[in-house]
Structure 1
């Protein structure tokens, strides 16, 4: 997701030297390094939280609100203020730790402020508004759409997401039914993140609660950490509170419970009373500790927000959380025992599920409670959770536990929960090829409303030629679509390269910086040795050929089986899957650039693949690699011989598959003059014309001279007249298709 960046300079006034027992005022403010031109919010203000910790040498208390409000036009409404008191035993050097936190609860800058203890009050020094110019922090605001790029070609996907977000509220479903997860699957750079961003923008305007989490940009290691982030995002715009979850998170933030049951209960009695009176600082001290924030970065603000929402009814709100952990017992004893056990498991158990499962149950119970009445119950929308890059290790784990928890919640509560889960994945998420559908298919058949499955995988196809033409500033849309196959990231990369008057993509890939950007989405997570071996694999037509080549002993055995599923089209590990066309074109250029001395150069690899196809009687494959080697004279007679031996529809298919062979960069080709001398009305001459013209026309890197289509037109015309078969319709249809391009 794209992010707007505001550069901030912290401005802090704090005592450099302190005397034990004395109290000192500390102020924290920020200055904008420059005014943000593209402010991403409708509101003109953005709050920044301050957490100041001086333990164990300094006791720090806040004075009023510790939030700094940044205005879009620069400046704030005043600093956050704290009072620090030095401990009696303070001597020597110590540190104040200042953490700045986004409105989403994410720490984005931590500063260490040195303080020295002294017994002489005359030496006490207060630095007034020290400008920490070297500590400019980048505040990354909540992801918003990149307004410079139009999202095209995704109307069906957005319509499907909307249908999921509004359902099952508008439709009757069985009481034991759980809404499946909608999983968008596509190659890296296919626009999955852009799709989630655009949907977030649309439902955000409607005030629908939503949360976005990118598993590829997080240090979270457990479901609980991710859950705290999702809950905070859902609560940030008001309307959703999580008293049950917040109570559980408060419990696991406490120190390990004592082995003495009485002392442990005494420790947690204060916790369950948090709803009965203003929260005790001792209860919240550990949860606001920067060390704890590094793991559960959203928890402190989630808890504090829960305590500040509806202050007059705070007791009632948090009472629901405590009662839930006590299984609705009239006394607090049940809650105390449950929370002690939860805390003990969080500190000592190696099974994270023992902690995350009850936290997920609390999360879902809070959602049901909030949607039971009020504005959200009448709005006609579920709340929406969007998880990007879910095919990472943490993403798969979170998704599995969330699905299990939702099914258990349905069994316990009876009826679906008010939650829509949308995920995006480059990998296959262990789904079968035949279960992957398109958004258009789902909308047309309307089968998703009866789906009794955990997840519906939806493929995110490449952009069509019409989609590419609809993008701004692309007068070369036809050439560009042919080169990129509609790969969204590649189209945008070329669009941003500000190329004008382009007749062919060749100059683009000749520029190393542009070629690197085009390759980056596909190979960014691959080690360099695997990338080099992937170059060799590009010669193969499909994954099956790659595996056979690896088994022959070319040193690719491990690479062939370890290549990520997202590199193949369709995504998965089918032997018939091919490398993404855009990726393969770029890799073939590198293969062609290998020297004749390289053991796996163009000639060596294609020669072995040609012989392998011949051994297996794979005629199209044999002729494909023969043509890739430049031996057109060996291909034409074989195709001419087959012309009247097989059905014309099959022959046209072989012709198209053979002429899709790649052309080596420096490979000499026969010119137009050599084709002009072969005008006799025979099958051999016509086949020769077709192979020569279609082979060059299929080269997506080079320009396509218009005369190629004249040669193709003449070749098919000749074949129609020379055919000995009654059915020439397949030839005519192929002829018409070529004319329409």
Structure 2
């Protein structure tokens, strides 16, 4: 029996089979630059056949997506023409809604099919095909082509094919439908025509499978031997937002068909390299492991073909081994600075603030840069930058309702919240806002903080957050995050380590956490969900009642403004813990969020003194240095309180408090003086 892959026995002639090609899945939150990366890859591949599709822009059946990809691939790259798709073209002619083949009259059916093919050839040189081909141009919209119907699509695939070549490929395209089947090609196409008019899901699936298989078989045939039409070994398809519009279903179907054709051909992979993008790991079926998102997602420094091959199991249990999930990295401080320079000349001066607030999230960096550009040349720039999250987003204008006055304007943080969590239901978003009160998501779920939410939200929120890449490993909370130098130097093991270190449970990415906290801080006490006080009180009491929960209890005490109690607890630890372990505790507790972290009406160092007097009167009188240190570090946890960036204002207060403790506290003075030095400006 002949093979339906169009390659004959060429893979048995001693030539090395084409190597397997993974589906490279780029994963990232909304605004992480996935679409830009796909566009860049398409540009790099512009000399070879390439195509793309955005599943968020249109909802199409798999065979319709394959047809649009085939059309763009057939246009080729800058170096020459692309592959031809005779098998797919015959199938598209057969499923044209305007064509009806009589299954009971083979001769009439054959005549009608031949007539439809001739019509497609004529239309391929007609004005409709000309206009559509010219409209496509370069791949700058991921190939979302509004083609009305399979008939015109088939005509487009025949565009530019001369009469002799049409006759030659037409025979191969038609004969393919009779291979591996006791039925002839005509009977198969008549059946395909009949199924295409059916509403039965099984019939629709059969149509999708056969036409997508024809798409891959055409590619295998076109690239047999030394390569494709222009000598290329592969062609590229980029698929955006596969978590929408059946994107994952389409890719899974192609992989299933790839394996089927591969087995029947005796080896070798089709030449189609797919790079896909998604904002949720749920779109990728594997490979699974016990990680927080259920996937082994590779970082940018690990990515490579050899890395993918090394992870392929010897005996795969399913087709998930074809997938290669890659997490898009955040922007580095240097990249944030370069982007700032392209927005405004002096903007790199705001780079430290922008990077520390957003942690390099590309969309947020750009929006923050655009907002900061309006402030940087003002004499009160530092004050304006401290209030940047409450600023009006760039490009927005106030709109007035009829008779109601100005419409409320979104702040920059509210715009970010709406954009980053755009796929969430109102209840899911409310649950995420509530969870922002906890240090980590596991504490939020285990403490009962989500009581009152529906069981579905309570049961799936952890998984949802992990799959959407909203969580990260805990960050170091030492001097490196407070405007000082050094990070990760406090011991986690050994005699100087804290006896009850915090668990390494996933936490919200800091920028996401910040915008969620802003919403939590604005909740009314009488609302349907816990407000700031209710949430932190619940968490404080839960931690206090658990073994090893002392640090968690102090953390939420500080969030509630109970500074006197926190200072008393830290003062006791200063005399009983190794000083390095005490520093770990100090930073862990003062990482607590503040309901109103920024006051633009006063300098941060002055506010530290005011807050200490107000919230910790006893500690201010008895342990002033420690009380000021706690309040200053609490404020310093927010990057907006560390302006100007060249010399963070709070650093002097923090350094002086550490040195005073080194002189008077019953602790290791050398360690405390070393910590003070991390906050001091060096002139060398």
Normalising to structure 1: TM-score of the pair? 0.65
In structure 1, the partner of 2:443 is 545
Match of 2:523 among 590, 594, 600: 594
User: Displacement, 1:591?
Assistant: 2.0
In structure 1, the partner of 2:483 is none
Match of 1:671 among 585, 608, 612: 608
Q: Please show how residues 596-611 of structure 1 align to structure 2 within 5 Å.
A: 596-598=525-527, 600-611=530-541
In structure 2, the partner of 1:337 is 187
In structure 2, the partner of 1:317 is 169
Q: Which runs of 5 or more residues in structure 1 are unaligned?
A: 1-171
User: Bigger CA drift: 654-663 or 394-403?
Assistant: 654-663
1:591 and 1:651 mapped to 2: Cα distance? 30
In structure 2, the partner of 1:579 is 508
User: Displacement, 1:713?
Assistant: 2.6
Match of 1:492 among 348, 366, 383: 366
User: Displacement, 1:183?
Assistant: 0.9
1:267 and 1:602 mapped to 2: Cα distance? 72
User: Displacement, 1:575?
Assistant: 10
In structure 2, the partner of 1:73 is none
User: Displacement, 1:381?
Assistant: 5.0
Q: 1:382 to 1:283 in 2, by over 3 A?
A: closer
Q: Which runs of 5 or more residues in structure 2 are unaligned?
A: 1-13, 130-143, 313-320, 393-408, 474-502, 600-605
Higher relative contact order (CA 8 A, sep 6+): 2
In structure 1, the partner of 2:387 is 506
Q: 1:341 to 1:576 in 2, by over 3 A?
A: farther
Q: 1:672 to 1:724 in 2, by over 3 A?
A: closer
CA contact (8 A) 1:696 1:704 kept: no
User: Bigger CA drift: 664-673 or 189-198?
Assistant: 664-673
Q: 1:556 to 1:420 in 2, by over 3 A?
A: same
Match of 1:426 among 260, 270, 279: 279
Q: 1:570 to 1:598 in 2, by over 3 A?
A: closer
User: Displacement, 1:529?
Assistant: 4.4
SS at match of 2:273: strand
2:330 and 2:44 mapped to 1: Cα distance? 23
Q: Is 1:459 aligned with 2:327? A: yes
Q: Is 1:397 aligned with 2:249? A: yes
Q: Please show how residues 329-478 of structure 1 align to structure 2 within 5 Å.
A: 334-348=184-198, 349-351=200-202, 352-372=204-224, 376=228, 379-380=231-232, 382-392=234-244, 394-413=246-265, 414-429=267-282, 430-431=285-286, 432=289, 433=291, 435-443=296-304, 446-452=306-312, 453-471=321-339, 472=342, 473=344, 474-475=347-348, 476-478=350-352
User: Displacement, 1:265?
Assistant: 5.4
In structure 2, the partner of 1:113 is none
Q: 1:265 to 1:532 in 2, by over 3 A?
A: farther
| Offset from partner CA, 1:61-86 (integer Å, 9 cap, x none) | xxxxxxxxxxxxxxxxxxxxxxxxxx
Between structures 1 and 2, the one with greater helix share: 2
SS at match of 1:197: helix
In structure 2, the partner of 1:531 is 429
Q: 1:273 to 1:300 in 2, by over 3 A?
A: closer
User: Displacement, 1:410?
Assistant: 2.0
Match of 1:307 among 147, 152, 158: 158
In structure 2, the partner of 1:125 is none
Q: Is 1:613 aligned with 2:549? A: no
Q: 1:701 to 1:300 in 2, by over 3 A?
A: farther
Q: Is 1:640 aligned with 2:501? A: no
User: Displacement, 1:322?
Assistant: 0.8
User: Displacement, 1:603?
Assistant: 0.8
2:458 and 2:375 mapped to 1: Cα distance? 39
User: Displacement, 1:728?
Assistant: 7.2
User: Displacement, 1:301?
Assistant: 4.1
| Offset from partner CA, 1:183-213 (integer Å, 9 cap, x none) | 1111111111111122222322xx2222221
CA contact (8 A) 1:483 1:505 kept: no
In structure 2, the partner of 1:241 is 84
Q: 1:613 to 1:510 in 2, by over 3 A?
A: farther
In structure 1, the partner of 2:96 is 253
2:669 and 2:249 mapped to 1: Cα distance? 56
User: Displacement, 1:323?
Assistant: 1.5
1:493 and 1:552 mapped to 2: Cα distance? 32
| Offset from partner CA, 1:266-309 (integer Å, 9 cap, x none) | 2244425767x675879999x99xxxx99974744441133333
CA contact (8 A) 1:211 1:234 kept: yes
Q: CA RMSD in A?
A: 4.2
CA contact (8 A) 1:225 1:296 kept: no
SS at match of 2:83: coil
CA contact (8 A) 1:214 1:388 kept: yes
In structure 1, the partner of 2:562 is 631
Q: Please show how residues 145-164 of structure 1 align to structure 2 within 5 Å.
A: none
Normalising to structure 2: TM-score of the pair? 0.70
2:357 and 2:626 mapped to 1: Cα distance? 26
Between structures 1 and 2, the one with greater strand share: 1
CA contact (8 A) 2:55 2:240 kept: yes
1:619 and 1:268 mapped to 2: Cα distance? 82
1:464 and 1:577 mapped to 2: Cα distance? 21
1:427 and 1:622 mapped to 2: Cα distance? 33
User: Displacement, 1:612?
Assistant: 1.3
CA contact (8 A) 1:178 1:416 kept: yes
1:411 and 1:722 mapped to 2: Cα distance? 77
